[in-house]
Chain A
């Protein structure tokens, strides 16, 4: 590469400076957290043992949560598959259509599932249908982007050969390009199924069905033993889905052998599960929706409140967005630092088996709790404000980053580490000099991706009073104040777009 690179110390220094600025801006105060740690341990103590008598009341909303994520993930992935060939630049789709579709997908990708769900409740009424619609749109946006990127990097020689024989482009895509990207497509869909279970668990908060409503109610009534029961249920559901997904991923990528008969049985079983989940979602309730609402929502997007958009003082849009970014930045950084040792503890290749199993279980427990719940619990200790948001984002990032880190460690080449071991280097020295340098690119990519997602997540933290843009957005939507909601949405779109550009640049730099 001929591009001049900044020296390493300058990058590290700039990163640290950014982190401290973000931490200052969000009022991070670890002393305060330590001082009030008693509140947290109190709540934890009350959660365990959980209230087992409450279990029967948990099952039905828990099932609704799983149902929303299964139906939403499958539908969203199918729509994405249908539209991805129209978005890929190397396939023969009309350029105008491609630009339009890409813009729509980018727009949909901006909004967190919770905001989509809130919007959906205005159209489809309160209940799981709205939640399913939100998860569908959310999955669709991400899967279209991923599948399109895969198709763009796939070989098109066979596709062009089929076109030259007079095959219509759509058929040529499914027969010549899709077989090459199918396994990544399915792996992505399975990964989204896992994350969607966590997303659906909080949708009840805005009335979109599932376990979220119950969870919110029990936390506000401070019935922590019941909260503990709900969280335990969620933990088990997430364990189940993650192991199912891991098993299926093994089959899809060919790491696990399977006979055609077994594969057929699995496909039929999964199709039956999907159809059952979809058939029992429940009909939408259109009584709240009207053409006027839809028109008002669109009008808000087209004619937003520009005065609010360009307001520069505290409480203005720019300030709130900056706070959201700072929450995501500080939270992701803290989360990454904590994840590193946790991932090393959780890797069966470095640590003895029992230690690794314990490490992995802790990581899974952390990520099975919906992030708004962390917000609601931290708020009891640190009070409303951006610091609570930072802690929430940090803890969430620990759960998800440690998983990515462990996956990276599990696939890394260990020969350099063995060579150092043969020379008598200590375990810590081997990790520092043989493993971390090899893992740095994968870790960097995972942290960047998490930061990207955290900005979206941080934009709903305001809902529980944990700072950022979420509170004014939800407030505006619930009061039908569409011009303000429109201004915030446009601000979010611009912000996410800028971050996308930046992260693409950084990733390009990391690869160079």
Chain B
């Protein structure tokens, strides 16, 4: 298994159980969507998986490396193999699209070139190529604040791809976009999964999108795993996920 979670729990302020003993495994190259109502623990799951937060109990194993007790350099070594995209894009608004994509190269550089912003010819070529890959060929030098929402998410995807990630995490990637743009973004992600063999784990509010683009669905409710199965499950099963009942 490529990614394995074993009894993962996370509480905030010692009271709120954001995640409560969640276990599942993901095979390499799968497109998995995590569904569930607001407060189900979807965002917490992504934050644990990309090392932004640490779980209180359980194990997270990514390609043989234990994420749950990695700190400092060991944690960063795991994080370097991940790409994450966010609902609010998390881009630096007043620099260009190219600079935002290049930021993904910072972990591999020396401190001085990083501060001076001298990324080198090869990395620039790579970043330009990725911007072209996500359909922003002419927008490399445009400041991000002047791009549309969909274009911003494309920049964020290019930034994530810049790390050549084995695992692409997506936290509600299309929730801030209109349905048409949202579908285009998901088509792009699906295409990346197919052609590059990247494993994708996506949080989604939108059931239709989740069913259409994923190989498999994972349902969370109140921090517990309530569904783990095929994406073509019937309406009643998925309604049960949102109602907080375990699927049959």
Contacts and interface: CB of A to CB of B under 8 A. Distances in A.
Contact of B103 (A162, A168, A170): A162
B107 A164 contact: no
A175 B159 CA distance: 14
A20 interface: no
A179 B92 contact: yes
A160 interface: yes
B50 A162 contact: no
Contacts of B52: 160, 163-164
A180 interface: yes
Contacts of B78: 166
Interface string B190-214: 0000000000000000000000000
A158 interface: yes
A201 interface: no
A166 B77 contact: yes
A31 interface: no
B92 A165 contact: no
Most buried by A among B83, B84, B106, B111: B106
B104 A180 contact: no
Nearest to A157: B90
Interface string B84-99: 1010111111110001
Given A167-B106, A168-B107, A171-B106, A158 B91 contact: yes
A166 B80 contact: yes
A164 B51 CA distance: 6
Interface in A154-191: 155, 157-158, 160-168, 170-172, 174-176, 179-180
A109 B234 CA distance: 66
A317 B91 CA distance: 53
B92 A158 contact: yes
B39 interface: no
B156 to A, nearest CB: 8
Interface string B68-89: 0000000111111011101011
Contacts of B111: 168, 170-171
Contacts of A179: 92, 94-95
Interface in B88-130: 88-95, 99-100, 103-104, 106-107, 109, 111, 114-115, 117
Contacts of A164: 50-52, 79, 82, 84
Interface string A127-169: 0000000000000000000000000000101101111111110
Contact of A165 (B100, B104, B115): B104
Given A160-B90, A165-B84, A175 B114 contact: yes
Most buried by B among A160, A164, A179, A180: A164
A100 B124 CA distance: 40
B224 interface: no
Contacts of B107: 165-168
B94 to A, nearest CB: 5
Interface string B125-141: 00000000000000000
Contact of A180 (B51, B80, B86, B93): B93
A486 to B, nearest CB: 39
B42 interface: no
Contacts of B154: none
A162 B100 CA distance: 10
Given A166-B80, A168-B107, A175 B90 contact: no
A13 B78 CA distance: 64
A158 B82 CA distance: 15
A158 B89 CA distance: 8
A15 B86 CA distance: 51
Contacts of A168: 76, 106-107, 111
* Interface size, A (range): 20 to 34
Q: Interface majority SS on A: helix, strand, loop or mixed?
A: helix
Nearest to A155: B93
Nearest to A162: B103
A82 to B, nearest CB: 10
B10 interface: no
Contacts of A170: 111, 115
A307 to B, nearest CB: 48
A174 B106 CA distance: 11
B216 interface: no
A179 B104 CA distance: 16
Contacts of B89: 157
Contacts of B92: 158, 175-176, 179-180
A301 to B, nearest CB: 36
Nearest to B163: A165
Contacts of A175: 92, 99, 103, 106, 114, 117
B11 to A, nearest CB: 21
Nearest to A163: B52
Contact of A174 (B50, B109, B115, B159): B115
A168 B80 CA distance: 11
B91 A165 contact: no
Contacts of A171: 106, 109, 111, 114-115
A171 B119 CA distance: 13
Interface in A25-59: none
A160 B84 CA distance: 11
A158 B93 CA distance: 9
A162 B51 CA distance: 12
A180 B92 CA distance: 7
Contacts of A172: 106
A165 B88 contact: no
Contacts of B93: 155, 158, 180
Contacts of B159: 161
A255 to B, nearest CB: 15
Contact of A166 (B76, B117, B156): B76
A87 to B, nearest CB: 19
Interface of A: 155, 157-158, 160-168, 170-172, 174-176, 179-180
Please give me the 5 A-B residue pairs with the lowest Cβ-Cβ distance, nearest first: A166-B79, A161-B90, A157-B90, A166-B76, A166-B80
26 contacts: A157-B86, A157-B90, A158-B100, A160-B52, A161-B84, A161-B86, A161-B90, A161-B156, A163-B52, A164-B50, A164-B52, A165-B79, A165-B84, A165-B106, A165-B107, A167-B106, A167-B107, A168-B106, A170-B111, A171-B106, A171-B109, A171-B111, A171-B114, A171-B115, A176-B103, A180-B94
Given A161-B159, A162-B106, 13 more contacts: A158-B100, A160-B90, A161-B86, A165-B82, A166-B78, A167-B106, A168-B76, A174-B114, A175-B103, A175-B117, A179-B92, A180-B92, A180-B94
Interface of B: 50-52, 75-80, 82-84, 86, 88-95, 99-100, 103-104, 106-107, 109, 111, 114-115, 117, 156, 159, 163
